């Protein structure tokens, strides 16, 4: 076992360090926005075409295209369909990955592992989602119709089962906000600062190089993220009604939005980057996975962060 571990570790030479050499994305469309007319395959094809054309990469250099998608409506390898739609050579392999919310991050993890092991030199990893075209499902029974339709929210959130929480992220996070005493005021303050910073970043052009402008159907030019509130009215945010529970904390302003979009990056071994005179943007150093119950999903990122810091030896 020790000999095998040494042998595997020897593969992780400086030549096989995993570099991110470029990244791009569509603007992020809002609910019912200008990107809702594109399905997830079309959105991904726009990004893949841009990424491919930026470097004019020889098709022989691209070892794989890995695309994460949580709610793909395309049942037959959406990643390959997007690749062909983008005009990339069909000889390039592609794979669609689903690890729910972490699908596109899993695409990066798999790509990085392939490069570290010396199996690949160049991989395009990305993710895409069209939440507007995702089917809406309602469990039809008298209790749901009486409580959810008439009054808008359940009466007894504490009695929700794990199965019910798995179907509703918002309700799960509401219960976590109670457990950790995260008030509506704290969430509203964070939301106001977040929208303010996002607007400032757009005004200063921080996102210009990474964002692809799209002409939507109806000849509408989409250049920036639609979910950012352009003019912030703090009173509207502070007085917004809760979405899930009557005494809840989550509103349409401090919650993450239901969005459409796609993004991708190029992973490259250090050796290949140097050979092509490419200056890397960043290095993929380590990753970690953890599992939680549905009722604890909101803490997952923090727990994974502790694990990856310990694994990588970073303080």
Please tell me the distance from the alpha carbon of residue 258 to that of residue 252, in angstroms, as a whole number. 10
Given a cut of 80, whether residue 273 has pLDDT beyond it is yes
Write the DSSP assignment of 13-64 as a string of letters. -GGG-EEEEEEEEPPPB-TTSTTTTS-HHHHHHHHHHHHHHHHT--TTT--E
Rounded to two decimals, the pTM is 0.85
The string of pLDDT tens digits covering residues 28-54 is 999 889 999 999 999 999 999 998 888
Cβ–Cβ < 8 Å for 179, 185: no
Residue 132, pLDDT score: 87
Please tell me the distance from the alpha carbon of residue 47 to that of residue 28, in angstroms, as a whole number. 13
The string of pLDDT tens digits covering residues 129-160 is 998 888 766 665 555 555 554 444 444 455 56
Mean pLDDT, residues 281-306 taken together: 90
Residue 75, pLDDT score: 85
Given a cut of 70, whether residue 13 has pLDDT beyond it is no
Mean pLDDT, residues 257-279 taken together: 93
The string of pLDDT tens digits covering residues 84-122 is 999 999 999 999 999 988 999 999 999 999 999 999 999
The string of pLDDT tens digits covering residues 185-215 is 999 999 999 999 999 999 999 999 899 999 9
Write down the mean pLDDT value for the chain: 86
Given a cut of 50, whether residue 8 has pLDDT beyond it is no
Residue 1, pLDDT score: 34
Residue 5, pLDDT score: 32
Mean pLDDT, residues 283-294 taken together: 90
Cβ–Cβ < 8 Å for 39, 73: yes
Per DSSP, what are the bridge partners of residue 126? 67, 264
Task: Name the band, by pLDDT with cuts 50, 70 and 90, for residue 64.
Answer: very high
């Amino acid at each position: 076992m020790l000999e095998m571990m040494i042998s595997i570790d020897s593969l992780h030479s400086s030549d096989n360090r995993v570099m991110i050499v470029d990244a791009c994305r569509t603007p992020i469309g809002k609910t019912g926005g200008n990107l809702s007319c594109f399905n997830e395959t079309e959105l991904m094809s726009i990004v893949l075409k841009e990424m491919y054309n930026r470097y004019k990469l020889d098709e022989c250099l691209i070892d794989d295209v890995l695309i994460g998608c949580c709610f793909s409506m395309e049942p037959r390898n959406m990643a390959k369909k997007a690749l062909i739609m983008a005009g990339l050579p069909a000889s390039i392999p592609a794979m669609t990955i689903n690890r729910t919310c972490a699908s596109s991050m899993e695409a990066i993890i798999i790509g990085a592992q392939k490069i570290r092991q010396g199996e690949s030199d160049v991989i395009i990893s990305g993710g895409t989602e069209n939440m507007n075209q995702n089917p809406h499902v309602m469990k039809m029974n008298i209790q749901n119709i009486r409580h959810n339709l008439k009054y808008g929210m359940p009466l007894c959130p504490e009695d929700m089962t794990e199965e019910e929480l798995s179907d509703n992220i918002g309700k799960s996070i509401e219960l976590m906000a109670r457990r950790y005493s995260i008030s509506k005021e704290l969430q509203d303050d964070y939301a106001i600062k977040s929208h303010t910073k996002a607007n400032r970043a757009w005004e200063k052009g921080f996102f210009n190089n990474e964002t692809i402008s799209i002409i939507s159907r109806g000849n509408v030019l989409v250049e920036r993220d639609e979910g950012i509130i352009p003019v912030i009215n703090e009173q509207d945010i502070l007085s917004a009604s809760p979405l899930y529970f009557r005494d809840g904390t989550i509103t349409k302003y401090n919650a993450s939005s239901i969005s459409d979009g796609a993004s991708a990056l190029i992973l490259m071994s250090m050796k290949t980057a140097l050979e092509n005179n490419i200056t890397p943007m960043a290095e993929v150093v380590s990753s970690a996975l953890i599992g939680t119950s549905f009722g604890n999903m909101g803490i997952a990122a923090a727990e994974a962060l502790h694990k990856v810091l310990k694994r990588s030896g970073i303080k």
